[in-house]
Structure 1
């Protein structure tokens, strides 16, 4: 009843899907006390919830660790519904005798965990992957993993190994089926309040929350369900098929519960993603075009009042070499208003502290609050994409440390009192996988790494305030600047555009972060050293490959979606 699987199924149904749900057929004697008291009937009860939402539901008792049973399941799904669009691998072995030191693990307990968590996901992905390919219309496979696969804590060897293996399976399969329009992603939740953790005492629970969750609240299953809905939505179609969405939860406690206590489902189930966002105020820096404009438009679509800053006030005044960059700050503000919000253009040079101070004074005077700050302004020199070592390029590349790093700190410093006064909010930094690999040279990498560190440390300082801080690792963005770069240097960057994503992809998550504030951190997969060195050589020669992007799929996102963005299972 208190489970991630139930919430995923219900959220998908709420978004317009017919849902096939599987379970192990556990005995009612094994149900927790609250489930027995409620008359819970496992997947049959979930099926009733789905039908109450007006969608078809098919509960099936199935053993995902049995490849023949999985094949039979696929036959049943296709026979009953004619197709499948989304496959969510959530089945997991129960906590049992595997949570002991490796030298004491019973081989049978080891095999059970690996068979269900890893082999089961493999069987499901293989069988249903074949069906998705045969249908020829793309689709989505999502593996529900865990940060345990990266943290690898003591006494969790079987669990950690199964989840680490699931990460590898996800990344490898994504690279294989992307050409069929099929996306493969893994979600790695942090600490989530489910019945699987009922074996922990109150003291153990409080210790875990207070030690590992800076914002003092466990995640809710419905929040994972919302992430699944987003990854199944059409909003993700522009993202790279090989990328993996990693999610590790840190949640501000706005539910009124005592620190460390479980949050009941009623605190999050069924509430609108945009309940708070529609009344909110946001500031997006560097929003004349590109990612900043895309984020601002998405916030406007959520009904927010959005302040946009930038320096482009005259059409064609900004250029890359001899090529003009189209779009102005006022055009972007008008687009926000057209999307359903209120766009307010504020010309501002973020290298000038006085202008930034005046900006926040205006926001305080006009609204008295701020819910979202998106630090996106960045001073980019035209030489950024040119080949060659850093000492052969203009010293102007170091300007990124002024507008792009220091400016982010200044904006967050002014924003913090307004965010805290609102009682909940978000500071977001637009970063890149370039923070963890060679990309565009040391200045760019240092600026992105600095954003990541700034977000992490600000999250600690915001502890207990209801304000979250995140750093978003963006993929290749389909912006005016990157499209010009692809035309000018198609030999080096043309392939990347095939894996590009729209700026609106990034923007879609910010309203949800306000409605259900939550902090996430990117988990960067370890890249093979030989591949990394090869990618480094290509980058230095100015001839990177699109495949190099797949080495760093880590991205910290939590993005919502609505029913209109899903194709129902027919």
Structure 2
């Protein structure tokens, strides 16, 4: 789609990753200035260099000082912040095990980034958005596992489900102040991480990929660019009356059970 985001500043976390790159490319192509925020400093610089108007910032969303520095640089550079895309997140690859044996430290790592980090990042980013009084948008990147649980990844499932309800709570609280908050629930997306699990020749669960695809009515994984299109829509003037919603971009995965 095409939309006019000229003059808008979008702060995107996890922007150096696969889905993050898909998001920032679509927002930038429609006129937004992009704050490319990632814990990977080199990756953030590389992505920013590929965009027409972008500021790379290094941020660890678990650390309040790191977040504060990133938001302060945004305001110093652009004077405003209009769109926050909470995309940064992690899952586990080495610990695909039942809840009764799931490592506690891995639980804290995943929930600490996927849910706590999103909360910390949002609190700080809201300060300039609310102070400006121009309204704004928050788009949280959740997951289909927040809508329909999957096995062997209990902290990721719990964090994404929490993110979805947090999105709804934020919509109730921020809507009266002109800030619309929505979430996107990606299904299986073709990234470097999913290649290590399913889609690469040496993927950890490569033998199960064909069966996995049978549960997706469209029969394929999505692309980062398709998530970027959804973010663009929820960031655009065309979605001005959408608030508190969860948009599944999953090829039909959550529509029902495929026999």
1:218 is aligned to 2:221:
yes
Residue number in structure 1 paired with 2:175? 178
**Contact 2:58 2:70 (8 Å CA) reproduced:** no
Residue number in structure 2 paired with 1:246? 247
Distance in 1 (CA, whole Å) between partners of 2:225 and 2:191 is 11
**Contact 1:97 1:106 (8 Å CA) reproduced:** no
Residue number in structure 2 paired with 1:147? 144
Residue number in structure 2 paired with 1:45? 46
Distance in 2 (CA, whole Å) between partners of 1:94 and 1:163 is 10
SS at match of 1:93: coil
Instruction: Look at both structures and tell me which one has the larger radius of gyration over its CA atoms.
Output: 1
Distance in 2 (CA, whole Å) between partners of 1:460 and 1:164 is 23
Distance in 2 (CA, whole Å) between partners of 1:23 and 1:205 is 30
What are the Cα deviations for residues 27-78 of structure 1, in whole angstroms up to 9, with x where unaligned?
xxxxxxxxxxxxxx52222112213xxxx11111210111221122111111
1:209 is aligned to 2:213:
yes
SS at match of 1:58: strand
Distance in 2 (CA, whole Å) between partners of 1:42 and 1:94 is 19
Residue number in structure 1 paired with 2:6? none
Structure 1: runs of 5+ lacking an equivalent: 27-40, 252-455, 462-570
Distance in 1 (CA, whole Å) between partners of 2:224 and 2:191 is 7
**Contact 1:217 1:250 (8 Å CA) reproduced:** yes
Residue number in structure 2 paired with 1:355? none
Residue number in structure 2 paired with 1:18? 33
Distance in 2 (CA, whole Å) between partners of 1:174 and 1:122 is 14
Residue number in structure 1 paired with 2:11? none
How much does 1:2 deviate? 6.8
User: What are the equivalent positions in structure 2 for 1:354-503 lying under 5 Å apart?
Assistant: none
Find 1:135's aligned residue among 132, 140, 143.
132
**Contact 1:89 1:142 (8 Å CA) reproduced:** yes
Find 2:238's aligned residue among 220, 224, 235.
235
**TM-score when scaled to structure 2?**
0.84
Residue number in structure 1 paired with 2:21? 6
How much does 1:125 deviate? 1.1
How much does 1:98 deviate? 4.3
Distance in 2 (CA, whole Å) between partners of 1:107 and 1:244 is 32
Find 2:79's aligned residue among 82, 94, 99.
82
**Contact 1:10 1:46 (8 Å CA) reproduced:** no
How well do the aligned residues superpose, as a CA RMSD in angstroms? 2.1
Distance in 2 (CA, whole Å) between partners of 1:90 and 1:167 is 13
Residue number in structure 2 paired with 1:194? 191
SS at match of 2:51: helix
Distance in 2 (CA, whole Å) between partners of 1:157 and 1:116 is 14
Distance in 1 (CA, whole Å) between partners of 2:208 and 2:46 is 31
**Contact 1:2 1:193 (8 Å CA) reproduced:** no
How much does 1:246 deviate? 2.3
SS at match of 2:180: strand
**Contact 1:23 1:61 (8 Å CA) reproduced:** yes
What are the Cα deviations for residues 490-547 of structure 1, in whole angstroms up to 9, with x where unaligned?
xxxxxxxxxxxxxxxxxxxxxxxxxxxxxxxxxxxxxxxxxxxxxxxxxxxxxxxxxx
Distance in 2 (CA, whole Å) between partners of 1:195 and 1:2 is 9
Distance in 2 (CA, whole Å) between partners of 1:48 and 1:206 is 38
**TM-score when scaled to structure 1?**
0.39
SS at match of 1:162: helix
Distance in 2 (CA, whole Å) between partners of 1:98 and 1:151 is 20
Residue number in structure 2 paired with 1:372? none
Label 1:167 to 1:70 Cα distance change in 2 as closer, same or farther (>3 A).
Answer: same
Residue number in structure 1 paired with 2:160? 163
SS at match of 1:219: coil
